[in-house]
Amino acid sequence: MTAGTSESWQLYDKAGVTALIDHNFPQARDDIGAFVIENLADMTATVRLPIDNKFIRPGGSVSGPTMFKLADISAWIAILSEKGPMAVDAVTATMTINFLARPAPADMICHAHLLRLGRRLAMADCRIFSDGNDKMVAHATCTYAMPVG
């Protein structure tokens, strides 16, 4: 699949969104790691980031930049699940993150929910948790600029 085409695109398909990312932005995994799309539903995405030592900061917690990247890619995944290949060129316009609790050195799970998905902008609410703990460790809001065309 290439950006701008709709060949056999199915909404809410984890395999399709993963293939779309791996084809158009394979370096994402080099940067953030081996993220896994766990669930796609109406305007939402749940993404897991397995944590390894490169994400752990002094003191034993997951680093802030790691959580920022997870929120960012989770919002993009939610957009891709709704818009498919036409949204590959969507880019982060703004992002605000609040770190709420010290995350355990465990897999991080992000629940991204699209609050708005318009022609020019998409806005997402992202909630990050340490695996096995229901206490939110970070909250982000993200606005993406949608490709014109």
CB neighbour burial string for 124-139, b if at least 16 within 10 angstroms, e if fewer: bbbbbbbeeeeeebbb
Of 21, 62, 18, nearest to 36 (Cα)?
18
Residue 32: its pLDDT value, please?
81
Using an 8 Å Cβ cutoff, are 37 and 18 in contact? yes
Q: What is the pLDDT along the chain (149 residues), one digit of tens a residue?
A: 344 444 444 466 898 899 899 999 988 888 887 899 999 999 999 999 999 888 988 888 999 999 999 999 999 999 999 998 889 999 999 999 999 999 989 999 999 999 999 999 999 999 999 999 999 999 999 999 999 86
Architecture of domain 20-145: Roll (3.10)
The CA radius of gyration of the chain, in Å to the nearest whole number, is 15
